[in-house]
Chains A and B, each alone.
Chain A
Amino acid sequence: MSDTNSDAGADGPLGGLFDGLSRRSSDLLLVFGALFAIYALFTIFVFGQGINSVVSTLRFLTFLILVYGMLALALNLHWGYTGLFNIGVAGFMAVGVYTMAMLSGDPAGSPPGLGLPVPIGIIGGMVAAALVGLVAALPALRLKADYLAIVTLGLSEIIRLTYNSEAFNQWIQGATSTITSRVGFLPDGGAGTGAGSGIQVPSPAGPVRTLFFEGGRAGNPTPLGDAVFAVTDPIGIQQNVVVEWAYVLVLAVVLLGFYWLLSRIGNSPFGRVLKSIREDELVASSLGKHVEIFKVKVFMLGCALMGLAGILWQGSFGFVSPNDFMPVVTFYIFVAVIIGGSGSNTGSIIGSILFVGLLFEGPRRALGALGNRVDFGRAPNSFGDAVAPILSGDITPFFAYAVANRSALVFVLLGTVLIIIIQTRPDGALGGRNEPAAAVDLSTRPEKQPTTATDGGENQ
């Protein structure tokens, strides 16, 4: 029997597109193919509104793809690799962002922060997210998958409501100020959460901005800024858009870092134990693996990455409030992982591209573009009024309704697509393919006996 041929079928619907190429190059082709297809689609949506509009739209799209990619990779480590059903991603993001904001926020702001440098705030945010992960993990990882899901969902809501609470805001300000007033280099006011009115976050995009503008102020470009703007200004791209693109490039580098880290973990004995835990915990422990230690480690690492992704995403807007961390955010990340195929790191990135491009932003933009170009008249008031005329052959009211209610209809589409995927392609685009967890190519056989009945060795 030929084992090498079985790869193609197991690679999922997209995995077999580029047979004959090495997996790495076919993965690259897939990722960039999907990305540029989405770019082309969105360029059509905003075509005719000028180059600045196109560049700016693609920037926003890429930004979302990158932050979803990071979160999907982190979730894939938990869920895809280890089988830990963590549906509290939003909560761990919140811990990351809030801790960062409290550590690095302006001491004179409202609520006050500790004014520490942004990199320290980011590291602090990741550590805090990991520690909250530890607190959740210690009791919860003894539970079976479904119960872990309930615990993490509950925890993420507890976190959100805690940050929303004025009492907690008062308490933490008091508690931190008693500590900081005794430490010379820290401001005496402590740090608060801002409760329901949200908190200012020193944006991680800030340092990128200062590369282009002296002191971050527009109209005061640095030599680098001058050089870049000399190219972009004549084309008609606004300087702000250029600076925002620069931040997106930083995010792309961070995403590569995530991918590098998680691939390395996946292709190692550590990753192999994670996989075995997902498959059958009792087997793993019967082979001498201390399952709980592995779970705690991987849970903390994943939470730290979620914290970092939260900082780079929500933190970059300069302001967050507890409402930015509703459970639906976690749901979106799950959709991205499911579309890409859980258990595959490349799948997580492709899933993020497809989710953001075709489900999250695409339909909304498509309907918006349609509405801009075609006049469907006044939108009907109810779904019934929109659908009923279809029976008599008039589809205009339906389109008018869809254009007017496009944001809400995205949810309908999301749900429908999710059901279809789970019914027909539960492995997603790249799931179910075999990514052997080892630091070396396992197909390589020891040299002797090349004639035995196997064709496994000729794989690479």
Chain B
Amino acid sequence: MSDASDETHIDEAVETASTSQGGTATVEPESRDSEVERAAASTPRTVPLSVDNLRKTFGGITAVDGVSFTVESGTVTGLIGPNGAGKSTTFNLIAGALEPNSGTVTFNGEDITGRRPDEIANKGMVRTFQIARELPEMTVLENLMLAPKHQLGEDLWRSVVPGARSTVVEQEAELRERVWEMLEFFEIDHIAEQEAGTLSGGQRKLLEMARALMTDPDLLLLDEPMAGVNPTLEEKILDRIHDLRVNEGLTFLLVEHDMDVIMENCEHVIVMHQGKVLAEGEPEAIKNNDQVIDAYLGEDI
């Protein structure tokens, strides 16, 4: 089972590496879905990510307490909740940065619970960080060039041995083209040669999203992508998210504090409170849910 889906992903990466895809979608959302379906015939094709009964304790504190939810393909799903609700911990559990005490995470029909972050990223689920983690002493270009999966030149011998290196150089030229397209897509091409450490907070957020997208993911985990970002930039980020969702069939799971952002942009909302899923549903329903209102007002429930 797991072998089959690995192969699919390698095929996909080779395909995208040779066809150079960035701002323009060469892979139709439909064909991407059917590929996933073939790899994971047992899972309904509309649910790439499902989390089942996740539990994580730190010492005596239970940060995540039996959380279950699913994320449907091609949606923007919001994960909200007051501070300390366990959103970020859930995120870290899904992305492999933390290992759960119990429960499972299933991605594209495969159990990925407790896998390493790099394994999960290579399966097509990539995350960003709450506080942007740019690679400060690398340029914006280098930051983006790093991200694509399965680069030939990541093999030491191929980067060094004369002859073999020409394939690396060739692939680098293709990646460079995709990188510049991605920079243009996020309108940060004018800072391409700056070291990432010199960017402003908002630019870092854009850089992180652009970098995550360079891995050509199926599902993006965005941890507070709009935190500390001005309204204009916020609009820009949301535009990009919708663009990618519609044109490339990407799926998004985003943690956010701003209720308005969530309500206006998500098809599906999951509300967490004190480590548990408090409510789940469409934004309208969530907005009128008494328990949610109480949780956000801080009342005891």
Q: How far is the CA of A272 from the CA of B151 in the complex (A)?
A: 11
Given A275-B137, A282-B117, 20 other A-B residues pairs in contact with their CB atoms under 8 A: A1-B190, A4-B193, A261-B160, A269-B168, A272-B145, A272-B146, A273-B146, A284-B118, A285-B118, A287-B215, A301-B156, A437-B142, A440-B173, A440-B176, A442-B142, A442-B176, A445-B180, A446-B177, A449-B184, A454-B189
Q: List the 7 shortest-distance A-B pairs measured between CB atoms, nearest first.
A: A269-B153, A268-B159, A288-B121, A279-B135, A442-B141, A269-B151, A288-B122
Find chain B residues with CB under 8 A from A196 CB.
none
Bound Cα distance A265, B122 (Å): 23
- Please report the C-alpha to C-alpha distance between residue A286 and residue B117 in the assembled complex, in whole angstroms: 5
Q: Which residues of B contact A (CB under 8 A)?
A: 95, 97, 116-118, 121-122, 126-127, 129, 133, 135-139, 141-142, 145-147, 149, 151-156, 159-160, 165, 168-169, 172-173, 176-177, 179-181, 184, 189-195, 211-212, 215
16 A-B interface contacts by CB (under 8 A): A3-B193, A4-B193, A269-B172, A275-B138, A276-B146, A285-B118, A286-B95, A286-B129, A437-B138, A437-B142, A442-B179, A443-B192, A445-B180, A453-B190, A456-B192, A459-B193
The yes or no answer to A264 lying at the interface (CB within 8 A) is: yes
CA distance A17 to B195 in the complex (A): 22
A297 within 8 A of partner (CB): yes
Chain B: minimal CB distance from A375 (Å): 53
Chain A 250-283, CB-CB to B under 8 Å as 1, else 0, gives 0000000000010011001111110110111011
Chain B interface main SS type = helix
Judge if A289 is at the interface, Cβ distance under 8 Å: yes
Show the binding face of A for B, using Cβ within 8 Å: 1, 3-4, 6, 10, 261, 264-265, 268-273, 275-276, 278-280, 282-291, 297, 301, 343, 434, 436-440, 442-446, 449, 452-454, 456, 459
A-B residue pair count with CB separations less than 8 angstroms? 155
A259 to chain B minimum Cβ distance, whole angstroms, is 13
Minimum Cβ distance to chain A for residue B10 (Å): 12
The CB with the most chain A CB atoms within 10 A, among B129, B169, B173, B180, is that of B180
Q: Contact check: which of A271, A285, A343, A443 meets B121 at CB < 8 Å? A: A285
Contact of B118 among A291, A438, A453 (CB under 8 A): A291
Cβ–Cβ contact A265 & B142, under 8 A: no
In the assembled complex, how far is the CB of residue B216 from the closest CB belonging to chain A, in whole angstroms? 10
Query: Is the Cβ of B211 less than 8 Å from the Cβ of A287?
Result: yes
* Listed residue (B129, B141, B156, B173) with the most chain A CB atoms within 10 angstroms of its CB: B156
Contact check, B116 vs A283: say whether CB atoms are below 8 A apart: no
B121, A446: Cβ atoms under 8 Å?
Answer: no
Inter-chain contacts of A273 with B (CB < 8 A)? 146, 154
Pair A287/B121 contact, Cβ less than 8 Å:
yes
- Chain B residues in 8 Å Cβ range of A278: 137
Instruction: Indicate the member of A272, A297, A454 with the most B CB atoms within 10 Å.
Output: A272
Q: In the complex, what residues of B have CB within 8 A of residue A270's CB?
A: 153-156, 159
Which B residues are CB-close (under 8 A) to A439?
153, 159, 165, 168-169, 172
Q: Which residues of B contact A286 (CB under 8 A)?
A: 95, 97, 117-118, 121, 126-127, 129
CA distance A1 to B191 in the complex (A): 9
A437 and B173 alpha carbons, distance in the complex (Å)? 13
Most chain A Cβ neighbours within 10 Å, of B177, B179, B190: B190
A283–B121 CB distance below 8 A: no
In whole angstroms, what is the CA distance A446 to B156 when docked? 28
Chain A residues, CB < 8 A from B173: 440
Which residue of chain B is the closest to A343 with respect to CB atoms? Answer: B137
- B-chain residues with CB within 8 Å of residue A449 when the two chains form the complex: 184
* Of B137, B179, B211, most A-chain CB atoms within 10 Å: B137
What residue of chain B has the Cβ atom nearest to residue A287's Cβ?
B147
**CB <8 Å contact, A272 and B142:** yes
Complex alpha-carbon distance, A284 and B138, angstroms: 13
In the complex, the answer to whether B117 meets A285 with C-beta atoms within 8 Å is yes
- The interface residues of chain A lying within 8 Å CB-to-CB of B118 are 284-291
Measured CA separation A276–B211 after assembly (Å): 13
Contacts of B136 in A (CB 8 A): 279
Chain A residue at smallest Cβ distance from B124: A288
Q: Is the CB of A456 within 8 A of B211?
A: no
CB distance from B149 to the nearest CB of A (A): 5
Asked whether A436 and B141 contact (CB < 8 A) given A269-B172, A288-B149, the answer is yes
Structural contact, B139 and A434, CB atoms closer than 8 A: yes
| Cβ contacts under 8 Å, B126 to chain A | 286-288
Q: Which residues from B are CB-within-8-Å of A10?
A: 195
- Interface-centre pick from A285, A297, A436, A438 (highest chain B CB count, 10 A): A438
CA distance A5 to B146 in the complex (A): 25
Contact B145 A264 (CB under 8 A): no
Q: Is the CB of B215 within 8 A of A456?
A: no
Is there an interface contact between B159 and A264, defined as CB atoms closer than 8 Å? yes
Nearest CB of B to A221, in Å: 38
Smallest CB-CB separation from A455: which chain B residue? B190
B residues near A284, Cβ cutoff 8 Å: 118, 146
Closest Cβ of chain A: how far from B135's Cβ, in Å?
Answer: 4
Contact A440 B169 (CB under 8 A): yes
